[in-house]
Structure 1
């Protein structure tokens, strides 16, 4: 395997891993394939995050100084007993200019977004299998007091041979507050934005996640997103495939209520007859 781009990693890091091809690149990080040099060539994902002045940090026990929020919250959700539907953080390193996260890398895998685009039509039964797994990941985050903040198909991995799903990318994650969050603090995908973020001063983690899960289910089944603009999110009509079961229609309809108080709760979503079918 070729080794390159050492400039983004510290010297101690290079001695542990062979850095392979670029998996994905975003505005705030780059993710490379990595191979552990001393552990039977175990594959990992290496996420390199340049330090920025706007980075958020959290105090966590066992550390003498605050830790990058993304790292701290991944450590929080990763404490035993962990959730198999959340990508595991193996280790993290910090130098003067960046953080490097050493992450679980299931192979072969692709994002759920790519799976939806290239796999062909997805049945309700398979969609249910996917939704049950993402829901477990979201519930686990909430049990640990963590709001992921950016649930979407691009942030879910599908392990192709087992169809096991794993939620990842905690860049937007925050500690859950009973008071909710200011709408200006929402940094998730525009297509998944709940209407209260657009029309109210505050929003709450649970209601926002139920909205995002319904958008995700719609996308899985229809292979496109239900809303194309902020105006559609606030005022548009959701057109669902008429061949879907009545239970599926009912679940999506009640999770996409524009009034967050009228949406299903996470518990009600899990207990809905479509999820139990």
Structure 2
């Protein structure tokens, strides 16, 4: 179901949220360093970019981005023959860390008349080449960082995944230009501001995340860092949730992984105990944590807590049996073979009980 179709069925619910919502906050970077084994390259975006921003390269603006060769991977994204200075006006710094830096920007020209993309809000993500650990080839044979190759596979023609508009390679860094959903707030801030959400709201958002994950796996891509910070939601126009930041992603494989990338507090118990995990069950575990955060307002396991194999998950009595037993407990089964499949989650009766206004 498309975003506008979804809005038609849930307009009153989302308009109520939009009127009462707190002021949008910038999307945060991941938590403390001890919470990650391999730090993601987070696409941290501002919820509300400034109306006017200084020209790229000015003293008040962001980094100097000289004209350079560029390769656009998304059809219709523009010719990319001009330098970034001619095509983008950079605004505020949204995040900086070991991964590099992320800047808000406005597209000034798409390089071809008519300039249909004028005024498009984007983010410019700059990653030092030294931080790029894995490279692969795009369909045309171009060598590119794995994050870009994965985005090329999943971000075209599907609204639930952030869209890569273009990328280019500079001598010391990789630059990615991605779409910037307007008037959005990531689920991390959404949960912090509101606490737990009603099962109706959680169900709609969770359904969209499941569809995005299913799309990625159907393309042979494993995200590996599903968490609230990586899921912005348009709270006003469409109610669309998007999956962002494929910096920890890899190819989906049937054999076990022996290297972890992502946020440690979302890693499955088999990784902690044995040092291996399978992609699909590990994804279901992180989805169970996400759903728990949505309906309970907090992570189910305290930071630093060792999860024992006989661990009994405590859930509020107010939750329905569907949310309690068939989903959260199912996703957070200690044995990976006992966890639900993605298709089981999507077809679960609780997920199918979509509110009809």
User: If the length of structure 2 is used for normalisation, what is the TM-score?
Assistant: 0.73
In the TM superposition, what are the counterparts of 1:130-145 in structure 2 within 5 Å?
130-145=205-220
d(CA) in 1 for partners of 2:233 and 2:285? 21
Cα pair 2:197 2:294 within 8 Å, conserved:
yes
Q: Which moved more, 1:52-61 or 1:203-212?
A: 52-61
**Which position in structure 2 is the counterpart of 1:10?**
66
In the TM superposition, what are the counterparts of 1:1-277 in structure 2 within 5 Å?
1-3=53-55, 4-7=61-64, 9-11=65-67, 12-38=83-109, 39-52=117-130, 55-64=133-142, 66-79=143-156, 82-161=157-236, 162-182=238-258, 185-229=259-303, 231-235=305-309, 236-250=311-325, 251-277=327-353
Q: Which moved more, 1:117-126 or 1:82-91?
A: 117-126
* Per-residue deviation, residues 156-186 of structure 1 (Å, max 9, x unmatched): 111111321000000000011111211xx21
Cα pair 1:172 1:188 within 8 Å, conserved:
yes
d(CA) in 2 for partners of 1:166 and 1:54? 24
Root-mean-square deviation (CA), in Å? Answer: 1.6
SS of the aligned residue for 1:76 comes to helix
* Per-residue deviation, residues 87-119 of structure 1 (Å, max 9, x unmatched): 111111111111111111111112110111113
Structure 2 stretches lacking a partner, 5+ long: 1-52, 56-60, 68-82, 110-116
C-alpha deviation, 1:54, in angstroms: 5.3
SS of the aligned residue for 1:247 comes to helix
d(CA) in 1 for partners of 2:275 and 2:89? 47
C-alpha deviation, 1:137, in angstroms: 0.6
d(CA) in 1 for partners of 2:218 and 2:304? 30
Which structure's residues are more often helix, by fraction? 1
d(CA) in 2 for partners of 1:91 and 1:135? 26
Q: Which moved more, 1:154-163 or 1:31-40?
A: 31-40
d(CA) in 1 for partners of 2:131 and 2:159? 33
**Which position in structure 1 is the counterpart of 2:50?**
none
C-alpha deviation, 1:247, in angstroms: 0.7
* Per-residue deviation, residues 9-41 of structure 1 (Å, max 9, x unmatched): 233222211110112334303221111122432
Structure 1 stretches lacking a partner, 5+ long: none
* Per-residue deviation, residues 108-133 of structure 1 (Å, max 9, x unmatched): 11211011111354100000001000
d(CA) in 2 for partners of 1:63 and 1:91? 16
Q: 1:249 to 1:74 in 2, by over 3 A?
A: same
Query: How many residues were matched structurally?
Result: 271
* Per-residue deviation, residues 237-265 of structure 1 (Å, max 9, x unmatched): 32111110011101111110010000001
Which structure's residues are more often strand, by fraction? 1
User: If the length of structure 1 is used for normalisation, what is the TM-score?
Assistant: 0.93
d(CA) in 1 for partners of 2:302 and 2:235? 29
SS of the aligned residue for 1:72 comes to helix
